[in-house]
Amino acid sequence: MRKKILVADDDINIFTSVKYLLDDFDYEIQGATTVDGALDLIKHQHFDLVIMDMNFQQDTTSGNEGLQLVKRIRQADTGFDQPIPIIAITGWATVDIAVESLKLGVMDFIQKPWDDQRLLSAIQNQLKFADSQQQAFKLKQENKILHEHAQSNKGIIYQSDIMKDFMETLTNIAQSDMNVLLTGENGTGKSLLAGYIHQHSAREQHSFVSANMGAIQESLFESEMFGHTKGAFTDAKEHRVGRFALADGGTLFLDEIAEIPFKQQSKLLRVIEDKAFEVLGSSRTLTTNVRIICATNCDLKQAIADKTFRQDLYYRINTVELRVPSLRERPEDILLLAEYFLQKNSRKYRRACPVISYDAADMLRQYTWPGNVRQLDHLMEKVMFTCKADIVNWRDLQLEAADKTYNVDGQSETELENEHTLTLIDIERNAILRRLEYYSGNINKTVRSLGLTRSSYYRRVNKLDL
């Protein structure tokens, strides 16, 4: 997004001069000639930087009017963002005015007439500093939210014995520093459990960084994982920090680990073994201290036999391997989860939360849930809008034909008869889910059978919210 700069000065020529100086940069420049005019703009718009005079028409030498403007700008800061950077310019500079303005929150102080390069440098430095502060602020907030989320176990809902045993094991392993491999079907919550491991480890105060390996193009693998320098390749217009550097001291979660191209697996193995890597475009070796958590729904041992996954990498990432139970293995949790998802979506959409009837509850327990917890979550979200009363009945679930035997095309006889009621999106979503079920969650086989590339498959998955 374009950076917005406010120039507050009673002399319109100052606004013109600043705008002319910044003509070669993609900034949006607005001006105000009075204190009240500047404050009105700040209250109603977001600005990335304020350049302001310390003396206006009512008081041309003391700087008091400018100091009052700085105070009022700081009072107008919402608290949701970092304070707006302020650069003060004046033709009547004194040490006292400079010191007082810096105390009030002015970031830089420049005397008129200014040196163009000095002012330009100050503008660019303040914008970069503000960006870095904002990123740090957001990261801190994200970590705080994730920490609170994990502490309350929000989203990890269970009462079944199989999940109690699993979570006890997971909590014990989380307190170690071992690399963990989470296996199991799609939709079982492996990403959520990876976050749980991080938040219950000694690394909880550091970053939790995730990467979907199936969604990273092979040509961008090194840039995404290790970073690149400006000019390292054609489109490298600025320095990029890789995932290993971002996760330093914390946890790196590699989802869909089986989807890493074979020739890139040796690079990942090297950084896991040596805890060292080079940024693309640099010969300097950097070290990293990260805990690796991986997840997959594929059979990695079969992938090793098929020579699509390195055996030595497999042994590096699975210091401990845990299979996440599918939803059909924990039927005692189904109704508990359904009620939780209804309440969550009730709050999200500010709609009354319906009650699940006995017949609907029975159908939920009997269904086999090929999409696991994720499928149940999406179903309860849909029910919030399709349920016509304050009670969810079995018809609202639309699961009556879900466990029929499917033909080669992934359709049951009942569905073929009712196909005219489905939208194109419904048909595409059902086709992908059933093909995944047919191939036991093997994405490579599913992608090939559908005649898609891996990237187009993931685009459809995102589009259909699968």
Name the pLDDT band for 57 (thresholds 50, 70, 90).
low
Is 169 within a domain? no
Q: Is there a domain that residue 180 lies in?
A: yes
> Is the same domain home to 125 and 265?
no
Find the mean pLDDT for residues 367-386. Answer: 93
pLDDT of residue 405: 36
- Whether 303 and 337 map to the same domain: the answer is no
What mean pLDDT comes out for the span 90-104?
Answer: 73
Binning pLDDT at 50, 70 and 90, where does residue 166 land?
A: very high
Give the percent of the chain with pLDDT over 90: 39
Q: What are the pLDDT digits (tens) for 291-304?
A: 999 999 999 999 99
Say if 193 falls within a structural domain.
yes
The CATH number of the domain holding residue 104 is 3.40.50.2300
Question: What is the total count of domains within the chain?
Answer: 4
164 within a domain of the structure (yes/no): no
Most confident of 4-8, 250-254, 436-440: 250-254
Q: Decide: 226 and 279 in contact? Cβ < 8 Å.
A: yes
Range of the domain at 458: 408-466
- The last residue of a domain, from among 324, 344, 379: 324
Same domain, 390 and 418: no
Pair (277, 373) in one structural domain: no
User: How large is the average pLDDT for residues 446-460?
Assistant: 79
Question: pTM of the prediction?
Answer: 0.58
Instruction: Convert the pLDDT of each residue in 389-439 to its tens digit.
Output: 788 888 889 885 444 433 333 344 444 445 556 677 778 888 888 777 766
Alpha-carbon distance 123 to 321, whole Å? 52
Q: Return the structure tokens found at 205.
A: 């105060």
Asked if the model's pLDDT at residue 142 lies above 70, the reply is no
Regarding whether 304 and 190 lie in a shared domain, the answer is yes
- Give residue 411's pLDDT: 43
Do 218 and 297 belong together in one domain? yes
Same domain, 307 and 340: no
Task: Please check whether residue 64 lies inside any domain of the structure.
Answer: yes
3-state secondary structure the chain: CCEEEEEECCCHHHHHHHHHHCCCCCEEEEEECCHHHHHHHHHHCCCCEEEEECCECCECCCCHHHHHHHHHHHHHCCCCCCCCCEEEEECCCCHHHHHHHHHHCCCEEEECCCCHHHHHHHHHHHHHHHHHHHHHHHHHHHHHHHHHHHHCCCCCCCCCHHHHHHHHHHHHHHCCCCCEEEECCCCCCHHHHHHHHHHCCCCCCCCEEEEEHHHCCHHHHHHHHHEECCCCCCCCCCCEECHHHHCCCCEEEEECHHHCCHHHHHHHHHHHHHCEEECECCCCEEECCCEEEEEECCCHHHHHHCCCCCHHHHHHHCCEEEECCCHHHCHHHHHHHHHHHHHHHHHHHCCCCCEECHHHHHHHHHCCCCCHHHHHHHHHHHHHHHCCCCEECHHHHCCCCCCCCCCCCCCCHHHHHCHHHCCHHHHHHHHHHHHHHHCCCCHHHHHHHHCCCHHHHHHHHHHCCC
Lowest mean pLDDT among 44-48, 189-193, 308-312, 420-424: 420-424
Stretch among 27-41, 70-84, 375-389 having the lowest mean pLDDT: 70-84
Same domain, 292 and 413: no
* Boundary (domain end) residue, out of 289, 324, 359: 324
Extract the tokens encoding 466: 């699968």
Residues 193 and 304 in one domain: yes
182 and 288 share one domain: yes
Q: Are residues 117 and 30 in the same domain?
A: yes
Structure-model confidence comparison of residues 279 and 414, the more confident one: 279
Is 157 within a domain? no
- Is residue 62 assigned to a domain? yes
The per-residue pLDDT of the chain, averaged, comes to 83
If asked whether residues 337 and 240 sit together in one domain, one would say no
Using only C-alpha atoms, what is the Rg of the chain?
29
What is the domain-level CATH number for residue 365? Answer: 1.10.8.60
Specify the pLDDT at position 151: 41
* Stretch among 95-104, 132-141, 172-181, 321-330 having the lowest mean pLDDT: 132-141
Indicate which CATH number applies to the domain containing 288.
Answer: 3.40.50.300
Percent of the chain topping pLDDT 70: 86
Number of C-beta neighbours around residue 260 at 10 A: 23
* Domain final position from 353, 379, 403: 403
Residue 155 has pLDDT above 80, yes or no: no
Q: Rounded mean pLDDT of 183-206?
A: 94
What value does the mean pLDDT take over residues 372-394?
Answer: 90
- Residue 412, domain member (yes or no): yes
pLDDT at 269 exceeding the cut of 90: yes
Among 45-59, 301-315, 350-364, 418-432, whose mean pLDDT is lowest? 418-432
The lowest-confidence range among 307-321, 375-389, 446-460 is 446-460
